[in-house]
Amino acid sequence: MRVLDHPLQADQARILCKALADPVRLTVIEALAGGERCVCDLTGELGLSQSKLSFHLKLLKEAGLLESRQQGRWIYYRLRVEALHSLQAWLAALAVRCERPASPCP
């Protein structure tokens, strides 16, 4: 699933939140917050086997949070900033709506 340029729907937000909920994937996201990284760098920094890291990168990419490019035999990953902005806007809209007072009871 790719995050679209229009506001997130609840099902899209759920997919993003589910991808971010795993501690390993959240650590990967935090590692990529500093910019594009090669898989070889991430495995060493995060102390993960390449197969375990690849599994989590695949899920993050399918959720629309990452994009990648291949250079030679290495794959470089980076965050999709627009996905983070979409999730941020969805959360901000929730925050605004939750502050509304209740309608008076009849």
pLDDT digits (tens, 9 = 90+) for 43-84: 999 999 999 999 999 999 999 999 999 999 999 999 999 999
Please check whether the domain covering 10-90 is classified as CATH 1.10.300.10.
no
pLDDT at residue 5 above 60?
no
**Which pLDDT score, from 0 to 100, does residue 35 have?**
96
Please give the model's pTM, rounded to 2 decimal places.
0.83
DSSP string, the chain: ----SSPPPHHHHHHHHHHHHSHHHHHHHHHHTTS-EEHHHHHHHHT--HHHHHHHHHHHHHHTSEEEEEETTEEEEEE-HHHHHHHHHHHHHHHHHHTSPPPPP-
**Which pLDDT score, from 0 to 100, does residue 97 have?**
86
Among 5-9, 14-18, 86-90, 102-106, the range scoring the smallest mean pLDDT is 5-9
Q: Where are the domains of the chain?
A: 10-90
